[in-house]
Amino acid sequence: MSMKNILCIGAGYVGGPTMAVIADRCPDIKVTVVDINERRIAAWNSDELPIYEPGLEEVVKRCRSRNLFYSTDIPKGIREADIIFVSVNTPTKTFGAGAGKAADLQYLEKTARSIVEHAENGKIVVEKSTLPVRTAQAMSRILHSNTKNLKFQILSNPEFLAEGTAIRDLENPDRVLIGGMETPEGEAAIEELVSVYARWVPRERIITTNLWSSELTKLVSNALLAQRVSSVNSISALCERTEANIDEVTGAAGKDSRIGPKFLKASIGFGGSCFKKDILNLVYLCGHYGLPEVADYWEQVIRMNEFQSRRFVGNMLAAMFNTVADKRIAIFGFAFKADTGDTRESPACSVCLQLLEEHARLNIHDPKALGNAKLDLEGATGEINYLEDPYEAAEGAHAIAVMTEWKSFRELDYRRIFDSMEKPAFLFDGRNILDHAALYEIGFNVYPIGKKALTHF
Ligand code: UDX
Ligand code: ADP
């Protein structure tokens, strides 16, 4: 096979790691990642990568300048590419029709238009960003509006990687999904992309479908995962009222092979750039296609998620004598999950804003996300301190609220922490990761999620 040129437009959380692994696994393919954001590209070319992801740095160092390149020269990238991955952001629309639900496709459309402008031959264009079903149709219309008589094949190849495990997910995916047109040209394009992944992914895990199934599968996969978390979180509320224990309930329920043990962990709620956005997108689509009952059904997954963080703050207030005003609260973790610095839609942010409204003073500690936390809380009113050291964060605090399941939080000296705190000392474990009985023994009043609180009064 001749040396292919792959271009990825959009050097974010999806495009960055995905292209690094493709370059790593396909040394005979030249992979170029472009972005309009010069600072981001400069960071990809430096020792300080713009995103934190375990294992990413090693892969990038191995491939950079060998067959992996980062650039802001988008026209050149487009001219040279055989396959173009489009991995730009598709946030929820904040204005106009569909505001708050529909996907904002302006970045995608601009990308399609620059492909039309700069391409000198036909190409395979791959949708990597999560998109509403049938976006490929619009994409195709824009691409074929070219006056150069160029033919493009559109493929959908949604990314299922989860942050924090991106490299592992990319190197050993459960499945790779490729959707294309059901025409000979479409099938040839699918095969071309299959041949890239087949270098390291077993053929039976590469699934090919029609375009619309592939686009919809991405939304549905995320909706089903988020629904699982909301279902468990809804039951955690019931557990707290009935002295059932959520970990025992999900542990036993998950033993049923039809249910399965994964993704059943109760929490303060799901965050991340995908779940909420994709469900809103699904809700909008259902409304658009005249299915309001289906839209309501999925919207409830988001409502339950919002309820969970409100409920958590409500529990904090009730436990702390109905007021946190002027009390110092140590926030352990701001990232939306462990092993990432990403804070997009993090439930920690919602909890912090609610606590600030109650006039609490916050000491926020996170091993990787303090920079993003500062940006997210810019403009919030109240006292907020950002601390690299968890012991300093807890010093003089009335309570600790665990927001992220960082492993390092399990390894702290909680006796030392307890001794430095105001009494009575409260600990609210929004992730159920700590040893609650041991903390109670030390003297903490412990409030897990979906379990009986352990209190000294
Ligand atoms: C998700 C999908 O997993 C991935 O396939 C898709 O490509 C992008 O969206 P990501 O958002 O990176 O990935 O993280 P994920 O591990 O799915 O966690 C999402 C949120 O759910 C996190 O806030 C996490 O803490 C929470 N969660 C997850 C729970 O609260 N309980 C669980 O049992 C699992
Ligand atoms: P994701 O999580 O989907 O990867 P990110 O926001 O992390 O989303 O990354 C998307 C990237 O796409 C950003 O770095 C943004 O600058 C880039 N981008 C958006 N529009 C364009 C465009 N027209 N051309 C090139 N890059 C773009």
% of the chain with per-residue pLDDT over 90 = 92
Residue to mutate (ligand 2; options 32, 39, 84, 89; most atoms within 8 A of CB) = 89
Atom of ligand 1 nearest to the CA of 226: 21
Atom of ligand 1 nearest to the CA of 169: 5
User: Within this chain, do residues 17 and 90 fall inside the same structural domain, yes or no?
Assistant: yes
Atom of ligand 2 nearest to the CA of 15: 4
Mean pLDDT of the 274-287 span: 94
Mean pLDDT of the 244-257 span: 98
CA 14 / ligand 2 centre spacing (Å): 9
Atom of ligand 1 nearest to the CA of 404: 25
User: Within this chain, do residues 298 and 176 fall inside the same structural domain, yes or no?
Assistant: no
Nearest to 454 by CA among 417, 429, 418, 423: 429
**369 is in which domain, residue-wise?**
221-457
What is the model's pLDDT at position 101? Answer: 87
Which amino acid does the sequence have at 295? A
Show which of 172, 201, 230 is a domain's final residue.
201
Atom of ligand 1 nearest to the CA of 340: 12
Average pLDDT, the chain: 96
Residue 215 forms part of a structural domain: no
d(CA 446, CA 389): 22
User: Within this chain, do residues 79 and 192 fall inside the same structural domain, yes or no?
Assistant: yes
User: Within this chain, do residues 226 and 151 fall inside the same structural domain, yes or no?
Assistant: no
Residue to mutate (ligand 1; options 156, 267, 273; most atoms within 8 A of CB) = 267
Helix (H) or strand (E) holding 311: helix 292-319
Mean pLDDT of the 70-84 span: 98
DSSP alpha helices (H): ranges in 358-426? 370-376, 390-394, 414-420
What is the model's pLDDT at position 103? Answer: 87
CA 225 / ligand 1 centre spacing (Å): 7
Show which of 168, 201, 234 is a domain's final residue.
201
Least confident of 92-96, 154-158, 354-358: 92-96
Binding site residues for NAD(+), as ranges?
10-15, 35, 40, 88-92, 129-130, 163, 274-277, 344
d(CA 35, CA 11): 6
CA 90 / ligand 2 centre spacing (Å): 8
**Tens digit of pLDDT for each residue in 392-412?**
999 999 999 999 999 999 999
Q: How far is CA 159 from each of CA 16, 143, 208, 264, 306, rounded to the nearest angstrom?
A: 12, 22, 14, 22, 26
CA 268 / ligand 1 centre spacing (Å): 13
User: Within this chain, do residues 295 and 443 fall inside the same structural domain, yes or no?
Assistant: yes
* Ligand 2 contact, 89 CB (< 6 A): yes
Domain total of the chain: 2
Mean pLDDT of the 76-86 span: 97
- Which residue lies with its CA nearest to atom 26 of ligand 2? 35
CA 328 / ligand 2 centre spacing (Å): 38
Which amino acid does the sequence have at 35? D
At 252, the pLDDT band (50, 70, 90 cuts) reads: very high
CA 13 / ligand 2 centre spacing (Å): 9
Q: What is the pTM of this model?
A: 0.94
Mean pLDDT of the 215-235 span: 97
Nearest to 196 by CA among 31, 10, 13, 69: 31
Q: Are 129 and 105 in contact, with CB atoms under 8 Å apart?
A: no
Per-residue pLDDT at 334 exceeds 90:
yes
User: Which ligand ends up closest to the CA of 14?
Assistant: 2
* Ligand 2 contact, 72 CB (< 6 A): no
User: Within this chain, do residues 244 and 366 fall inside the same structural domain, yes or no?
Assistant: yes
User: Which ligand ends up closest to the CA of 263?
Assistant: 1
What residue ranges line ligand 1, CB within 6 angstroms? 159-163, 222, 225, 229, 263-265, 267, 270-272, 274-275, 336-337
What is the model's pLDDT at position 1? Answer: 47
Mean pLDDT of the 230-246 span: 97
d(CA 370, CA 343): 9
The vertex-429 CA angle with 361 and 299, nearest 5°, equals 90
Q: How far is CA 192 from each of CA 2, 159, 195, 269, rounded to the nearest angstrom?
A: 12, 18, 5, 40
* Ligand 2 contact, 269 CB (< 6 A): no
Residue 214 forms part of a structural domain: no
User: Within this chain, do residues 147 and 252 fall inside the same structural domain, yes or no?
Assistant: no
CA 70 / ligand 2 centre spacing (Å): 13
Residue 282 forms part of a structural domain: yes
At 146, the pLDDT band (50, 70, 90 cuts) reads: confident
Binding site residues for substrate, as ranges?
159-163, 218-222, 258, 265-271, 336-337, 431
Per-residue pLDDT at 84 exceeds 60:
yes
Q: Which residues pair with 329 in a beta bridge?
A: 362, 399
Q: How far is CA 271 from each of CA 30, 79, 306, rounded to the nearest angstrom?
A: 34, 38, 10
Counting beta carbons within 10 angstroms of the beta carbon of residue 114, is it exposed (0 to 12), middle (13 to 18) or buried (19 or more)? middle
User: Within this chain, do residues 195 and 253 fall inside the same structural domain, yes or no?
Assistant: no
* Ligand 2 contact, 36 CB (< 6 A): yes
What is the model's pLDDT at position 2? Answer: 59
% of the chain with per-residue pLDDT over 70 = 99
User: Within this chain, do residues 67 and 150 fall inside the same structural domain, yes or no?
Assistant: yes
Residue 319 forms part of a structural domain: yes
**Tens digit of pLDDT for each residue in 339-356?**
999 999 999 999 999 999
* Ligand 2 contact, 88 CB (< 6 A): yes
Mean pLDDT of the 423-447 span: 98
User: Which ligand ends up closest to the CA of 9?
Assistant: 2
CATH number, domain of 31, equals 3.40.50.720
Nearest to 310 by CA among 360, 279, 362, 347: 347
Q: Report the length, in residues, of the chain.
A: 457
Per-residue pLDDT at 3 exceeds 80:
no
Residues labelled as active-site residues: 274
Show which of 201, 236, 257 is a domain's final residue.
201
Residue 212 forms part of a structural domain: no
Residue 314 forms part of a structural domain: yes
Three-state DSSP at 445 gives strand
* Ligand 2 contact, 50 CB (< 6 A): no
**Tens digit of pLDDT for each residue in 94-129?**
999 989 988 888 999 999 999 999 999 999 999 998
